[in-house]
Every structure is written in structure tokens, then in C-alpha cells.
Structure 1
């Protein structure tokens, strides 16, 4: 789902509903817009507006939590990466080629997830880099420690490698959309009904129309932000690559 397109659709539906309600008011008989009728409509639309606001709040919180979880996973992966490299460095010269291999795998992963070309989409399929890390771990496991210290460092390096592999799958699992299309359709329907009633009850003048346009824009922007956070590695709002770039710059030193 393209967040910009969906946001514009929400804006258009909300504003269209408001304008339709304003036009409908002119056609209705006078007793349909009497004070008693207006009070009843206000009660009903107040309920729908409250439910819509609650749903928007819950979806926003869910998208934000998912985004923050992935951001935290990337930061922890960067820390594990540096610890992984330092364990290999302390192991001794035998692990020097493995450190080079680790740095190459990290470079590939960064370029796949955060492409240097803005026109390319992020590739979250971990198969290619996972194979590189698994091969690296097999080579680490094949090392022959000559002391208890090297044995501990070998075990720690393998632990950090497993942690990195786990982080990759967490990123892949968490990068999928958490906003089902049917849910979004129902939300847009509720918003359209709400704005239609706003137009039905409000007087027809430039000030009211301007306020309804601003409100429709705000609602469309909210949906846009929710869907942007729901794509943590694409679009305007992304999980930062800086922790991994920082770690990469300090590998093999």
C-alpha cells in the first residue's frame, strides 16, 4: 500500500463526504434538520467519531511500537556486531580473515536494507547474507583454540553470530504490514460517514468549509503517517541505518 496514495484517498473521501453532507442538507425537508433531529444526529455521529478516534489511536500506537521494536533490534544488532568483531580480534591472528569476511557481509546487508540509490527499494530477504554469516560461523567453529582464553572467545563469537542471525529474522518478520486492507476500508468508511454528518449539520459558509478542509487534511495526514511507520525500511520515516554504519566503520580495527 502506497501511504501517499492512501492518505490522499482518505483526504478525498473525508472532504467529499463533508461536501456531500452540505449539499444534502439543502435538499432535505426542514423538519429533517430541526433541533430535535440535529441532536439525535449529533449523538450518533459522536459515537462513530469516538470509535474512529479510538481506532486511529490504537493503530498509531501499534505502528509506533512495531517501528520502535525494529529500531531497537537494529541498535542491538550493531552492538552485537562490534562485540562479535572484538571477540575475533582478541582471539588472535588466526581470526583476521574471518573479521574481513564479517565486514563484507555487513556491507552487503547495509546496502540491501538501506540502498545508496534512493530509487531502489529495500531488500529484506536475509538468505544471501545469512548464508555468508553461517559460513563464517562454520569457519569460527572450525578454529582450533590453543588456550582456555581462545576457547571462551570462540564460544562468545559463536553466540554473537547466533544473535545476529536472530536479529535478521526479527527484522524480516516485523517489516510486514500490520494494517490489514479490510480494516483500512472500514476506517475510511467511518471517516466518510463522520464528515458527511459534519457537513449535514454545519452551516454553509467559507469559514466552515475551510475548517472541514483542514480537518480532512489532518485525518489524511494521520493515516499517511501510520502507513509510513508501517514500512520501517522504505518511505520518509525509516529505521535509521546509523547504528550499523557506525559499527561497520569500526570493524576490523
Structure 2
């Protein structure tokens, strides 16, 4: 929700800058609006426009990379949960209780990141899940290995449990936000300056106001996408829960 309000604020700032330019145009003497003066402004705004486009593209690329990396980590996490459940099944009936723990880890992870209506969002901060993975590792170490098959299965359990713990740490580090606020502040300042100068050299009429409003909304929506993709575990554009849901169905 905060991302929507931030995008609305940016839209208002950009549109307000254009309105300020349109208003100041009325009070400027004629020489300030002559073609020579306008040509100099056009050259300056072209430079700012190019820089703003480059930075905006960089921020969109960075936030999209954050979204994609987190999505891949969730898919890998779900796949390793299924593989761990399979390794416990391959070990034999002695590991049946541990399979229940793996299913509980998957259920809690699903509920923490995609909570039902009214439930709090815990994300990756649920210590109970981390404790369950630690107990799985200790229990795997305590399991006797009666033959090569059980030795292999126990080795798989230890490897997958360590991978799951490592993935939770990586998800916590990579889940954002990665875009620093100073980049957004500077970029909004640049774009607002552009719209101010555009308004300064554009005649004020209904079509101009409508166009500037549309441009401001498009600009605000671009920042909304940046903010949303930079927090892939929260918000409207958060990543899909399908991999973990499929993993749970597979482990039933």
C-alpha cells in the first residue's frame, strides 16, 4: 500500500512541476520565451531526459532482477523440500516422523510469506521454521545407516537440509529492497525539472493539461513498478506461491 501512495505522490510532484511551469510562463517577459532561449532550454532538457531515461532503465532492471532472483530461489526451495521428503521416504519407515516435519516447514513457509486474510506477514523471520530445519539436520545425523541405500539417503538429507537453511538466508538477503531511496529522490527531481521546463515553453490549454497529467501518471506508474518489484515477497506484484503449493501437494 505504501508503494501506491509513493507513486501517487510522485505523480502529483511531476504534474505540479508542469503546472508551475505553465503558470510562470504567463509572467515571463517575451525575450525569455523567444526561439533562441527555447533552443538553449531544449538542449539542456535533452541531456537531463537522456540521463533520467538511463537511470530509470537501470532501476527497473535492478528491481526486475530482484524479483526474478527471488522467484528462482522460491522455486529451488520448493524443489529441495520435495527432494528432502523423497530422501526421507527412501530411507524407510524410521524417518516417517521427519517427513511430517518437512511438510510442516513447507506449510509454515507458505503461510508466513502468503498469509491468509487477517493473518500477520512474517516473511522469513519465523524462527520456528529455522528451528525445525535445525532439528531435521540433527535428527538426520542420529539416524542409523544400515546399508549403502540408507547411507546415501542420510547424506541426501544432510545436504538438502543445509541447502534449505542456506536458501532462507539468501532469500532474506536478496528479497529487497535493493534500490536506495537517494536514487529515487534524485530521479524524481530530474523528471520534475524536465516537466517544469516543458510547461514553461508550452502554451496552456486543455489538451496540454491532459497530456501533462497522462505523462505524470505514466511516470508515477514506472516508479510504482520499481518499488513493487524491489519487494518481491510483499505487495501487489509479489511472487507466486504456486511452487510451494505444488510441493505440498506432492508431499501429501
Flag whether TM exceeds 0.5 (same fold): yes
Q: Per the alignment, do residues 100 and 119 of structure 1 end up closer, same or farther by CA in structure 2, a change over 3 Å counting? A: closer
**Aligned residue number for residue 202 of structure 1:** 202
Q: Per the alignment, do residues 171 and 201 of structure 1 end up closer, same or farther by CA in structure 2, a change over 3 Å counting? A: same
1:191 shift after superposition: 1.2
Local SS of the residue matching 2:153: helix
**Aligned residue number for residue 166 of structure 2:** 166
Q: Per the alignment, do residues 79 and 94 of structure 1 end up closer, same or farther by CA in structure 2, a change over 3 Å counting? A: same
1:233 shift after superposition: 1.3
Count of residue pairs the alignment pairs up: 252
1:118 shift after superposition: 5.6
**Aligned residue number for residue 124 of structure 2:** 124
| 1:22 aligned onto 2:45 | no
Local SS of the residue matching 1:74: helix
**Aligned residue number for residue 225 of structure 1:** 225
| 1:216 aligned onto 2:216 | yes
Q: Per the alignment, do residues 67 and 228 of structure 1 end up closer, same or farther by CA in structure 2, a change over 3 Å counting? A: same
| 1:37 aligned onto 2:37 | yes
Judge conservation of contact 1:122–1:234 (CA < 8 Å) in 2: no
Q: For residues 154-190 of structure 1, what are the alpha-carbon distances to aligned partners after superposition, in whole Å with 9 as ceiling and x for unaligned? A: 1011111111111111111112311222222111111
Q: For residues 103-162 of structure 1, what are the alpha-carbon distances to aligned partners after superposition, in whole Å with 9 as ceiling and x for unaligned? A: 112211211111012663343215321111110110011000111111011101111111
CA distance in 2, matches of 1:40, 1:127: 60
| 1:85 aligned onto 2:94 | no
Judge conservation of contact 1:88–1:95 (CA < 8 Å) in 2: yes
Q: What CA RMSD, in Å, does the superposition of the two structures yield over aligned residues?
A: 1.3
**Aligned residue number for residue 156 of structure 2:** 156
Listed as ranges, the gaps of 5+ residues in structure 2 are none
TM normalised by structure 1 equals: 0.96
**Aligned residue number for residue 103 of structure 2:** 103
Local SS of the residue matching 1:88: helix
1:231 shift after superposition: 1.2
Judge conservation of contact 2:66–2:176 (CA < 8 Å) in 1: no
TM normalised by structure 2 equals: 0.96
Local SS of the residue matching 1:250: helix
**Aligned residue number for residue 138 of structure 2:** 138
